[in-house]
A and B are shown apart, each in its own frame.
Chain A
Amino acid sequence: MISGGRGSALSLIKRTTEIRKEERNNVIDIRRHHIEEEAKIERESNLKKEAVRTKAVARLEAEKTRLRKQQELLKGNSEAINKDLNDVLND
């Protein structure tokens, strides 16, 4: 009564400010958590991609080695090489 209701308004503003501050902090926490989770997903994805690439490179290398070994057997044998090349071209 003495303050003419100003006390109530002030306490309401104070309370509202507190609530907003708490809300802002909570939103910041949520965003931080989201960024961390997203980075985690990105890391996992990159690891998976790297594994796929490594596997593909390894398989290609294995294939190259297999072919190289096959070609090694033909080395020096002109007729066999000629036949091999013709076979590949006609394939």
Chain B
Amino acid sequence: MIKKLIVIIVLCTFCSTVCAQEIKLYKAGTTLSLTEDLHCMTNEVALKVSTKLKLLPKECELKISEIRKLSDIEIDTLERKLVLQKKESLSIISEKDKAVDQIQLASIDEISKIESSLWWKIALGVLGGAAVGAGVTVVVMTFME
């Protein structure tokens, strides 16, 4: 008899505790209606709910402020990267320009070398031709004699 009584007391206590701490979850978009269920809350649960409700606005405010600051940092980083990218592109272009200039100068230099050596090549050709012609003439005349 005493055992049964103890079991019933334990069961009742357990049920009341479970019922007291039950918090219903509501679907998003539906209206939250405050019913008598709220009166079933224990002091601890009520305190927790109250703390959570008090904390929520501050938490949201902090989150928004954090996100704003993070986005500012991100924008600043992207701007700095963009400037760096521009600098890099300009440096590469300038390097390419420098190389093209150097190649042009080297080409002009080589062409002018060829042009400056052309006059003595012609002179040498003419003189060589004359000398060979004279030599051939001398040889032919010698054989004819």
Contact = CB atoms under 8 A, between A and B. Distances in A.
> Looking at chain A's contact residues, is the secondary structure mostly helix, strand, loop, or mixed?
helix
Contacts of B95: 23, 26-27, 30
A9 B113 CA distance: 11
B8 interface: no
A26 to B, nearest CB: 5
A34 B110 contact: no
Interface in B26-82: 34, 38, 43, 46-47, 49-51, 53-55, 58-59, 62-63, 65-66, 69-70, 73-74, 76-77, 80-81
B93 to A, nearest CB: 10
- Specify the main secondary structure of chain B where it touches its partner: helix
A10 to B, nearest CB: 10
B62 to A, nearest CB: 5
A13 to B, nearest CB: 10
A67 B124 contact: no
B62 A59 contact: yes
B10 interface: no
A37 B59 CA distance: 36
A27 B6 CA distance: 87
Interface residues of A, number: 46
Contact of B47 (A15, A59, A71, A89): A71
Nearest to B84: A37
B128 to A, nearest CB: 11
Nearest to B69: A52
Contacts of A63: 55, 58-59, 62
Nearest to A76: B43
Interface of A: 1, 5, 8-9, 11-12, 15-16, 19-20, 22-23, 26-27, 30-31, 33-34, 37-38, 41-42, 44-45, 48-49, 52-53, 56, 59-60, 63-64, 67-68, 71, 74-76, 78, 81-82, 84-85, 88-89
5 nearest CB pairs, A to B = A23-B99, A45-B77, A56-B66, A34-B88, A15-B106
Given A27-B96, A85-B49, A88-B54, 5 more contacts: A16-B103, A41-B80, A49-B73, A63-B59, A81-B43
